[in-house]
Amino acid sequence: MQVGRAIRKLRAQRKLTIQQLAEMTSLSASLISQVERDQVLAAAWSFL
């Protein structure tokens, strides 16, 4: 399973919106969306 799909699945299981996850992680909703769509590598998060 790709990382983005796994993140989306876990977020959905916890019934969180992208915005809620963004607030919880201090990441932008845009970045989370891009990671979920595999447009940005999740490893890039470690640099934030």
Domain at 20, CATH number: 1.10.260.40
- The Cα 33–Cα 19 span in angstroms is 10
Quick one: pLDDT at residue 39?
A: 86
Domain of residue 10 covers 3-43
24 domain residue, yes or no = yes
Distances (CA, A) of 7 to 20, 21, 26, 43: 13, 10, 16, 13
Cα–Cα nearest to 13, from 24, 21, 1, 25? 21
Quick one: pLDDT at residue 13?
A: 97
Residue 16 has pLDDT above 80, yes or no: yes
22 domain residue, yes or no = yes
pTM value is 0.78
Question: Which token pair is 3?
Answer: 């990382």
- The Cα 48–Cα 1 span in angstroms is 24
Tally the domains of the chain.
1
pLDDT, tens digit, for every residue of 17-43?
Answer: 999 999 999 999 999 999 899 887 766
4 and 25 Cβ atoms separated by less than 8 Å: no
48 domain residue, yes or no = no
